[in-house]
């Protein structure tokens, strides 16, 4: 989105009104003037066999009359209605960006008249290149963009956020999956005995709130900010923190993925600690991975210190972010239609 704006293209985002398949909440911010909400989504649409009766209003698309239509994660849309819309807007270049990490069950996906399908890497290509499409599209690999580097003074930001500057380090967890912290509460408290820490949780997840209340029965290292912050404010929390923890429960899922969280927060150049699961498979030298609690403790303690490994990690993050800015990725997309 930002990449197209930076290149002075007129952009309109057609966003969902609600998620009919799961609990979902918006960020604590108003939509910008170029956002139109005119369809219903299903987060798990890639698992659905039959077309749904989800809502989609065609009129805003007609009024905008686009030259390029980009459909991100097509399976979450009302595919029966999307099919009619794309056929109607046949003068536009129709491009899909695939986030789906498995073959899509809804057969209507393979009937969509896309001119090009973009996948993030070769793992996705293996899934989507040899499929029986009604109208065979081109398939191209373009990497997922990273948020640009955005660094602020940590002490100043802590004061602005109401976090004191006492002699402790901050480990940040944020988002909809923070309830998984229950698996590592005792381990975090153990870390605190050797390295004073506060665990800052930024989330509006109701389950996380219940867990947090239980943790307040004794002197606690845990802090909760009940927010779903917009990106600028999220970056305040990132810059106020010393380590970012993206803990996820163990899973046997074979669903391939890129972590949108890693791409979003990498611009803070903070050490990111993650479990060694399929969700973080693509990230070789820009995160610290753990397979068990011993490795978790080891990586947290490494991340909390200024050392050669962390310096190298930050430099790797910096290079990856600079190589994959939104504007660079946008230029690659535009090259497809020239």
Q: Is the pLDDT of residue 329 over 60?
A: yes
What does the pLDDT read at residue 8? 85
Write the pLDDT tens digit of every residue in 161-197.
988 777 899 999 998 888 888 899 999 999 999 899 9
Q: Looking at the domain assignment, is residue 253 inside a domain?
A: yes
Instruction: Give residue 271's pLDDT band: very low, low, confident or very high (50, 70, 90).
Output: very high
Residue at which a domain ends, from 141, 168, 198: 141
- CB-count burial class (<10 Å; 0-12, 13-18, 19+) for 127: middle
- The contacts found for 123-126 with CB under 8 angstroms, 24 or more apart, are 123/256, 123/281, 123/282, 124/98, 124/256
CA distances from 180 to 165, 212, 249, 303, 316 (A): 27, 12, 6, 21, 28
CATH number at residue 216: 3.40.50.2000
Q: Is the pLDDT of residue 158 over 80?
A: yes
Instruction: Give residue 26's pLDDT band: very low, low, confident or very high (50, 70, 90).
Output: low
Q: Looking at the domain assignment, is residue 116 inside a domain?
A: yes
- Provide the residue range defining the domain that includes 296: 154-322
End-to-end C-alpha distance for the chain, whole angstroms? 19
Q: Looking at the domain assignment, is residue 261 inside a domain?
A: yes
170 within 8 A of 242, measured Cβ to Cβ: yes
Residue at which a domain ends, from 85, 118, 141: 141
What's the CA gap between 132 and 194, in Å, rounded? 57
Looking at every residue in the chain, the average pLDDT score rounds to 90
Task: Give me the helix-helix angle, 293-303 and 308-323, nearest 10°.
Answer: 80
Q: Looking at the domain assignment, is residue 211 inside a domain?
A: yes
**Residues 241 and 270 reside in one and the same domain:** yes
| Section 318-322 average pLDDT | 96
**DSSP class per residue in 47-66:** G--S-----B--HHHHHH--
What's the CA gap between 18 and 11, in Å, rounded? 22
Write the pLDDT tens digit of every residue in 102-119.
999 888 999 999 999 999
Number of domains in the chain: 2
**Residues 129 and 267 reside in one and the same domain:** no
Q: Is the pLDDT of residue 266 over 60?
A: yes
Q: What percent of the chain has pLDDT over 70?
A: 96
Segment (H or E) for 87: helix 79-88
**Residues 112 and 169 reside in one and the same domain:** no
Q: What angle do CA 157, 220, 164 make, to 5 degrees?
A: 20
**Residues 169 and 286 reside in one and the same domain:** yes
**Residues 16 and 56 reside in one and the same domain:** yes
**Residues 262 and 315 reside in one and the same domain:** yes
What does the pLDDT read at residue 4? 86
**Residues 244 and 113 reside in one and the same domain:** no
Q: Is the pLDDT of residue 51 over 60?
A: no
Q: Looking at the domain assignment, is residue 331 inside a domain?
A: no
**Residues 128 and 161 reside in one and the same domain:** no
| Section 190-215 average pLDDT | 89
**Residues 120 and 248 reside in one and the same domain:** no
Strand pairing category for 93-97 and 68-72: parallel
**Residues 86 and 218 reside in one and the same domain:** no
**Residues 159 and 87 reside in one and the same domain:** no
**Residues 267 and 310 reside in one and the same domain:** yes
Q: Using alpha carbons, select from 236, 238, 233, 182 the residue that is nearest to residue 205.
A: 182
Q: Is the pLDDT of residue 155 over 70?
A: yes
**DSSP class per residue in 74-86:** GGGS-HHHHHHHH
Q: Looking at the domain assignment, is residue 252 inside a domain?
A: yes
Q: Looking at the domain assignment, is residue 329 inside a domain?
A: no
Q: Looking at the domain assignment, is residue 276 inside a domain?
A: yes
């Amino acid at each position: 989105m930002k990449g197209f704006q930076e290149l002075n293209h007129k952009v309109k985002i057609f966003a969902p009104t609600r998620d009919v398949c799961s609990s979902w909440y918006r960020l604590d911010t108003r939509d910008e003037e170029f956002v139109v909400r005119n369809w219903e989504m299903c987060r798990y649409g890639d698992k659905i066999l039959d077309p749904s009766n989800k809502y989609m209003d065609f009129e805003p698309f007609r009024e905008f009359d686009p030259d390029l239509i980009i459909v991100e994660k097509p399976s979450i849309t009302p595919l029966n209605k999307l099919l009619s819309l794309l056929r109607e807007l046949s003068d536009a270049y129709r491009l899909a960006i695939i986030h789906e990490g498995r073959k899509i069950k809804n057969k209507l996906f393979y009937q969509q008249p896309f001119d090009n399908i973009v996948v993030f890497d070769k793992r996705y290509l293996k899934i989507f290149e040899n499929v029986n499409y009604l109208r065979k599209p081109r398939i191209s690999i373009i990497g997922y963009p990273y948020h640009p580097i955005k660094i602020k003074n940590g002490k100043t930001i802590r004061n602005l956020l109401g976090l004191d500057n006492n002699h402790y380090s901050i480990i940040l967890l944020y988002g909809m999956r923070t309830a998984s912290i229950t698996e590592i509460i005792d381990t975090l408290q153990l870390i605190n005995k050797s390295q004073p820490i506060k665990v800052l949780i930024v989330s509006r997840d109701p389950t996380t709130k219940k867990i947090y209340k239980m943790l307040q029965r004794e002197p606690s290292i845990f802090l909760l900010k009940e927010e779903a912050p917009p990106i600028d404010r999220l970056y305040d929390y990132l810059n106020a923190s010393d380590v970012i923890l993206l803990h996820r429960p163990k899973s046997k899922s074979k669903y391939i993925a890129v972590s949108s969280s890693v791409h979003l927060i990498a611009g803070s150049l903070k050490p990111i600690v993650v479990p060694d699961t399929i969700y973080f498979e693509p990230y070789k030298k820009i995160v610290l991975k753990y397979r068990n609690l011993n490795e978790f403790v080891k990586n947290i303690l490494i991340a909390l210190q200024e050392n050669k490994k962390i310096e190298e990690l930050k430099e790797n993050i910096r290079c990856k972010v600079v190589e994959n800015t939104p504007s660079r990725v946008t230029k690659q997309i535009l090259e497809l239609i020239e």
